[in-house]
Amino acid sequence: MSEKYDFRKIYSQFAIEGEFEDCVRYGEGHINDTFKLTVGGAKVRHYILQRINNRLFTDVGRLMRNIELVTDFCRRSVEKNGGDPLRDCLNIVRTKEGKSFYFDGENYFRVYVFIEDATTYQIVRDPRDFYESAVAFGNFANLLADFDASLLYEVLPDFHNTKVRYANFIKAVEADVCGRRAEVQKEIDWVVAHRDLCGNIVDKIADGRIPLRVTHNDTKLNNVMIDNKTGKGIAVIDLDTVMPGSLCYDFGDSIRFGCNSAAEDEPDLSKVEFRFDLYETYLRGYLSAVGKSITDEERKNLPMGAVLMTYECGMRFLTDYLEGDVYFRTHRPGQNLDRAHTQFKLVDGMLAVYDKMLAAALEK
């Protein structure tokens, strides 16, 4: 695929010193085309070059404005705290015209400074990785604590508005376009029985009890750079979905993804358990980094964020199953239904120990 891009021409549009040497495909991302750009001269330097998927992100200008605002603010916060702005946050390389991206008439491209001697991991190798990802995301929230999140464009409207997600689910149930409703009535009944969860965070944001914050919205381990020497989490990457929201969403999605004892689509539910020990590990790392910027109300709702994000995700998997598996990529029949089952079991597991989750979150 890379042969269709004229890398030398693309490189020449950006304010990069040195001579073009090479540009090769990099990483395991599925949304954008990502390449590692090598530039020679007095010192060899590397950059990340990406073709932005403008079929998914249709307003590239506003998307990149979000990233500009967030990365600029993060860099200033890192500098103020005495950190290393080239390692502790993403840095956009602008075009020679001062823009954050280049459009060649067909494709949109952007460039970031490559963070040397650090790696992203697709799976948790041990609990320390999970802890360090918590530190990185907690620090990300802390760096942006004073940022006015209302300035950000909502890339994916109502992404974590669980009330809207529930309304869409009910529409899918009533439409039953694939004739699958009868076979999943038990699952439908489970979602309906837990519908009171839906307003827990969104209502608190609306009435001001929980502040509107910058949220990352994809808080998985593979979006954290882990230092190769120290093993510590440093910069958070992949900012395409930064939007206004609640840090309870980001915290909760990390717990949903990382505290499952099995794969997200595991058909054998006897293997699926909520790992409270990993919840405690992540909680400890997150709170150590987010510091005093978290409010008492946010802290009290961290466990609800975990329950809510898991409930919402399971509901979305079931919605997609009812609609014919048109949103989430599937590789076998019934995969979305298996995904829904794992999420529902995790919610049941969380609710069974919710008092313990809350006590751990409130422990000073």
Interval 221-227 mean pLDDT: 93
Cβ neighbours of residue 160 closer than 8 Å, sequence gap 6 or more: 201, 202, 215, 217, 245, 246, 249, 309, 312
Say whether pLDDT at 3 is over 70: no
pLDDT of residue 28: 75
Coil/strand/helix, residue 125: coil
pLDDT single digits (tens) 236-269:
999 999 999 999 999 999 999 999 999 999 999 9
pLDDT single digits (tens) 133-173:
999 999 999 999 999 999 999 998 999 999 999 999 999 99
Binned at pLDDT 50, 70 and 90, residue 31 comes out as confident
Binned at pLDDT 50, 70 and 90, residue 1 comes out as very low
Say whether pLDDT at 29 is over 80: no
pLDDT single digits (tens) 63-92:
999 999 999 999 999 999 999 999 999 999
- 0.95 exceeded by pTM: no
Runs of H (alpha helix) within 212-353? 247-258, 276-290, 296-300, 302-322, 335-352
Binned at pLDDT 50, 70 and 90, residue 41 comes out as confident
* Distance separating alpha carbons of residues 17 and 30, to the nearest angstrom: 30
Binned at pLDDT 50, 70 and 90, residue 364 comes out as low
* Distance separating alpha carbons of residues 313 and 345, to the nearest angstrom: 12
Say whether pLDDT at 284 is over 90: yes
pLDDT of residue 247: 96
276 CB neighbour count, 10 Å cutoff: 16
* Distance separating alpha carbons of residues 166 and 162, to the nearest angstrom: 6
Measured CA to CA in angstroms, residue 101 lies from 58, 150, 254, 338 at distances of 14, 23, 30, 40
Nearest in space to 128 (alpha carbons), one of 272, 248, 240, 285: 285
pLDDT of residue 329: 86
Say whether pLDDT at 2 is over 50: no
Interval 107-120 mean pLDDT: 95
pLDDT of residue 42: 82
Rounded to 5 degrees, what are φ and ψ at 166? -65, -40
Say whether pLDDT at 294 is over 80: yes
pLDDT of residue 19: 94
Say whether pLDDT at 105 is over 60: yes
All domains in the chain, ordered by first residue: 2-115 (3.30.200.20), 127-362 (3.90.1200.10)
pLDDT single digits (tens) 165-222:
999 999 999 999 999 999 999 999 999 999 999 999 999 999 999 999 999 999 988 9
Whether 315 and 190 have beta carbons less than 8 Å apart is answered as no
